[in-house]
Chain A
Amino acid sequence: MTFTETPFLVLLAVTYGLWLLCRRHYRLTLALLLASSLLFYGYNHGWLLLLLLAYCVVDWGVALWIAARPATAKLAVGLGVTFNLTVLAFWKYVPLLLHTAAQAAPLLHLPPPAVPTGWVIPFGISFYAFTGVAYVVDVYRRTVPAERSLWRYTLSAAFFPHLVAGPILRPDDFLTKLRPGAMPTRTEAPLEALTLLARGYFKKAVLADRVSLAIDPFFSHVADGSTAGVWSLPYVYLYALQIYLDFSAYTDIARGLGLLFGFRWPDNFHLPYLAASLQDFWRRWHVTLSLFLKDYLYVPLGGSRKGEWRTNANLLATMLLGGLWHGASWSFLLWGGLHGVFLVMHRLWGRTALGTWLRGRTGVAGFVWHAACVVLTFHAVCLAWCFFRLTVLSESLACVGKWFVFDRDKLLVGGANDVSLWLLLGLYGAGVWLAHRARRLPVLDWLAAPGPLARGFAWGAAAMLLVLAVLLSPGGEKPPFIYFQF
């Protein structure tokens, strides 16, 4: 089930309606949210529930073991983390390894292994495996107590708004709020909830899906003759926008749903393409994953405490594993590796005299340098996206090659020449900009002032945005959320 399917909307309406009725009865509320979450996850593939429940039972049991027997806590946490990562690796990487082995076998004069067909990677497994790792490690570090109730822990891991594509929640973000007395009994910030839902659905249905329709034909044929001479950069820009709009839309909807049931969760995106460095980018893009990788991988590896070269190696290793987390393809490893290399380069550049001098500029010079950094960072990210979008290396390289080698009469052709698409993206961008600047613009300052007129405007805008998410969508088949595959 996905957020854009009719069965989900029915499930949400029924769950929310029942929640309003039973929210003051703790056990009923717990049972309702858990049942809805399991129905959400098992709707299309019932057997996936067994996997999800196995994860929950093991992580819950390991945490209790850690709490009950501190002497063997290290062994327990090791087993818990190993279980989470091994099962994740099995489902995600076995086909890749077999496929690679099948390709390499003839070179080594070995019989190729059978490559399974129709392998289904359980959707959301990366997210709930990481949630489990975070929980077990946090219990081991004694930053959270072990949860006694299996039901509460299962709900914290499986609650349907965040289950499939995050945000990746720490125990403090969610689990502790499920305890008796802490469980919300009213909708938190209904206007914000409605706006997040409306914005999320609008970004997904109207913007991301429209971009997808415009660029998918190009990327499907990027290495063949039908796209010869076409400038690929506009398509890469559009893909960068698509993945941002798509993923941030999912996060918006998840956070909006969380607020509906009274839970406030962290945001995952902070205008990432305005980052002035790769380091800054990772503070703004998929923030909960960045923090997870930092706290549970980079810091345990030694972080920046063990000298310059070890720091750089840690950065590289963290990004490589972060890339591999995304999917069963070597191109994701390349994507992560590129980000790692860029981060190391940024660190090294920051230590040069010129880098330090430029960073200290203020006024017009400082603004120009900052703008140049934003443009450079965006293009570095776009370069890496080529390896993320195209999982065949020759296609990725062909796409990068078409940044520089193209026919002058094919600068903007095909889907990249869709004026209405750029107009729509421009209008949305202008709307976001105005939303940020309203307080500083005399004409719009009434919107930023407390008062019924502004409140009415906010409610009206949110409601209408939700309606427009349906009416302005391109129609036809709806592409799934990109991050559902991870």
Chain B
Amino acid sequence: LRNRHTSGGVGLFFRAGRRISPRFVNPVVQAGRLHHGPGKAEGFAMTDHSPDDPRPAGRLLFVLGWILAVALLAALAECFLRLSPPTDLHPYLGEASPLTGSYRPDHDFGVTYSSWEAFRDDNAKRLTPYLPLDGGADSRPTWAFFGNSFVQAPGMFGDTAAAALPDHRVFYLGRNEPLFVRLAQIKLLLEHGLAPERIFIELMPVDVATLGEQPLETFRVTSRGALTFEPNQPPGPAGWPVRHSRLGLTAWCRAGLQKGNRHFSKHRLYEGVDPRLLADLRHLFGGVARAARDHGVPVTVMLIPAYHQVSSGASFGFQDALAPAFRDLGLDVFDPRAAFLAQPDKPGLFIPDLHFSARGNHILLDELLRHVRQSTGTAVAREP
């Protein structure tokens, strides 16, 4: 028995004991040590033992030892995760989340800024040149643009429009916020004096990825103003470890099972829009349509094509699904796909990070101006 316990190496779970007779030590290990080091191997070097022990008591002890180790390490890990949860867990911790923010729950958009002051402070640098929001002495009509980095980033559509339309005051905040926050900003700005001639909301498949995974009903705003999400949980007793253990919740989240809509795949967005996501988008844009109607401002939703749709032949199911839904809400829809697909040099419409090039932005602007001139019947969002 002794030989079996020691024949595979040295010592046991931990490092070698000098008391073990050299004749029991694996000669390969001995040779390795003689040649390669001073014999101070790091911890955890151990023997090789089969877990099988022919005696029932031995097997029981083996299982007991196994459980003891797992429980000990799990307890330590649980303590650590309570003290310092990883960043990818923060959005699913509810009130225990260390995240902070300036939001409050909102019926129309899931979240909105806790106050006008919170919004103003958050956007102080970009907002100041636009104050007063109603234009003051500037009599030019305002076109307000909301969207992702295709609008907001330096050199992109916001800058292009501002340079090309000197007879308009072009308003854009220069920040890429989540879709629902962008839409909440519109309502807040309208309520605090922004009086644009027209609002433009740029929308692409990438904008709805977060909402697709976490539907509006999973939104939870903490008392510290942070947006968190109610994680999807397994039903019944299986949900207990996820609800009560950080280790369980981490495992659940890292397996990707926490998402509120597990049928959603952002990789299939070009092909179409998941029904639950479509319902949420109708709800969000319905809120925008109501706010715009209340202030008599027309809204154009710009469903601009993505690189893969223009250059790689990806489907336009996203635009095809949303355009009728938005028109039902009384919103104007601008879909410039034909102009982009007609271009002979499609790669030239994009820069390496797949945003529009200057040429792409100018085509977009030309098409938009043509669309606005033609859409005489959509001065203000209609009642759906």
Contact = CB atoms under 8 A, between A and B. Distances in A.
B250 interface: yes
B41 A455 contact: no
B51 interface: yes
Given A420-B84, A476-B87, A269 B42 contact: yes
Contacts of A450: 2, 5-6, 12
B200 to A, nearest CB: 34
Contact of B37 (A287, A464, A470): A287
B298 interface: no
Contacts of B40: 270-271, 284
Chain A contact-residue range equals: 35 or more
Contacts of B2: 450
A336 to B, nearest CB: 22
Contacts of A424: 80, 84
A125 B86 CA distance: 36
B70 interface: yes
Chain B contact-residue range equals: 35 or more
Given A267-B41, A270-B38, A288-B36, A453 B62 contact: yes
B62 A270 contact: no
A287 B14 contact: no
B61 interface: yes
A447 B13 contact: yes
A438 B5 CA distance: 18
Contacts of B53: 452, 455
Interface string A455-481: 111111101110010111111100000
Contacts of A188: 28, 48
Interface string B249-271: 01100100000000000000000
B11 A189 contact: no
Contacts of A120: none
Nearest to A288: B36
B62 A456 contact: yes
A436 B70 contact: no
A447 B14 CA distance: 7
Contact of A266 (B36, B58, B77, B254): B36
Contacts of A455: 12-13, 49, 51, 53, 62, 65
Count chain A CB atoms within 10 A of each CB in B42, B45, B74 and give the residue with the most: B42
B99 interface: no
Nearest to A456: B65
Contacts of A264: 28-29, 32
Interface in B65-114: 65-70, 72-74, 76-77, 80-81, 83-84, 86-89
5 contacts: A248-B42, A456-B62, A456-B65, A464-B69, A471-B247
The 10 closest A-B pairs by CB, nearest first: A456-B65, A435-B43, A420-B84, A460-B69, A189-B48, A460-B66, A266-B36, A475-B88, A456-B62, A457-B65
Interface of A: 188-192, 195, 199, 248, 264-267, 269-271, 283-284, 287-288, 291, 419-420, 423-424, 427, 431-436, 438-439, 447-461, 463-465, 468, 470-476
